[in-house]
């Protein structure tokens, strides 16, 4: 018990202002789901961003000849889904779905990663909307959440960066490929930081 208490002693050392901002960020993130306008913005962005992310991951493709069907062509999907795919932060697919004009190579881990990023983007821009319409203070850059979302979207290029290099006949250095692999963790840090920053510019009564 004493060892466990010592393990969490660092929490007491966090400044009260930081704790308050983190609490405010969580409260606003939950509260914006109680408003129709911010809910519409949030879910619209989640669906749109996730679709673009999976397209850049080559999990979703446009195919006018696609019908409506699904199949699981692998024998052990639960074990295969955790195997790394052709790129950093890319994982193997376990199913194939046709959705009329789209084909979806279903990789559950890729989809979860994309959904997590899309949710952060949705929260960022929904809070940015509140900061503009219900500001607690002036001077907020309305595009802060949008700018933070760009590296996350580019992270979808991580798996296909070598393919792009081959197609265009380029010899990409190891340094550039390493930069692609860092886009995902960097994007998460930027999105979380942007979320905390924007939360401080929103009137807390806007979601009560």
User: What are 114-125's pLDDT values in tens digits?
Assistant: 899 889 888 888
Instruction: Give the per-residue pLDDT at 73.
Output: 82
Instruction: Give the per-residue pLDDT at 70.
Output: 87
Tell whether 6 is covered by a domain.
Answer: no
Helix runs in the chain, H state only = 2-7, 16-31, 36-56, 77-80, 108-133, 144-154, 161-167, 174-199
Tell whether 34 is covered by a domain.
Answer: yes
Average pLDDT over residues 137-153: 50
Q: Are 132 and 140 in contact (CB under 8 A)?
A: yes
Place of tokens 């994982």: 91
What's the distance, Cα to Cα, between the start and end of the chain in Å? 39
Which tens digits make up the pLDDT trace of 9-35? 545 666 787 888 899 999 999 999 899
Tell whether 29 is covered by a domain.
Answer: yes
Average pLDDT over residues 151-161: 49
Tell whether 142 is covered by a domain.
Answer: yes
- Provide Rg for the chain, Cα atoms: 20
Tell whether 186 is covered by a domain.
Answer: yes
Count of other CB atoms within 10 angstroms of residue 186: 15
Which tens digits make up the pLDDT trace of 34-66? 999 999 999 998 999 899 888 888 889 888 777
Phi, psi of 165 (to 5 degrees): -60, -40
Rounded Cα distance, 131 and 140, in Å:
7
Q: Are 101 and 64 in contact (CB under 8 A)?
A: yes
168 has pLDDT over 90: no
Instruction: Give the per-residue pLDDT at 124.
Output: 85
Q: Which residue has the higher pLDDT, 192 or 42?
A: 42
Write out the residue range of the structural domain in which residue 138 sits: 18-58+108-207
Rounded Cα distance, 208 and 204, in Å:
7
Count of other CB atoms within 10 angstroms of residue 114: 26
Overall domain count for the chain: 1
Say what the pTM is.
Answer: 0.75
Tell whether 103 is covered by a domain.
Answer: no
């Amino acid at each position: 018990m004493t060892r466990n208490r010592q393990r969490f002693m660092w929490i007491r050392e966090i400044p009260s202002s930081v704790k308050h901002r983190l609490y405010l960020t969580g409260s606003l993130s939950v509260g914006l789901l109680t408003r129709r306008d911010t809910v519409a913005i949030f879910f619209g962005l989640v669906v749109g961003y996730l679709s673009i992310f999976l397209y850049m991951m080559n999990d979703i493709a446009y195919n006018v000849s696609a019908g409506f069907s699904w199949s699981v062509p692998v024998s052990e999907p639960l074990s295969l889904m955790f195997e790394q795919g052709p790129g950093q932060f890319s994982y193997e697919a376990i199913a194939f779905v046709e959705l009329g004009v789209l084909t979806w190579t279903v990789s559950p881990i890729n989809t979860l990663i994309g959904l997590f990023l899309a949710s952060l983007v949705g929260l960022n821009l929904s809070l940015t909307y509140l900061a503009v319409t219900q500001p607690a203070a002036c001077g907020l850059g309305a595009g802060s959440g949008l700018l933070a979302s760009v590296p996350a979207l580019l992270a979808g290029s991580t798996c296909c960066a070598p393919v792009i290099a081959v197609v265009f006949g380029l010899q990409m250095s190891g340094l550039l490929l390493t930069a692609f692999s860092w886009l995902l963790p960097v994007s998460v840090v930027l999105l979380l930081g942007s979320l905390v920053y924007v939360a401080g510019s929103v009137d807390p009564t806007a979601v009560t």
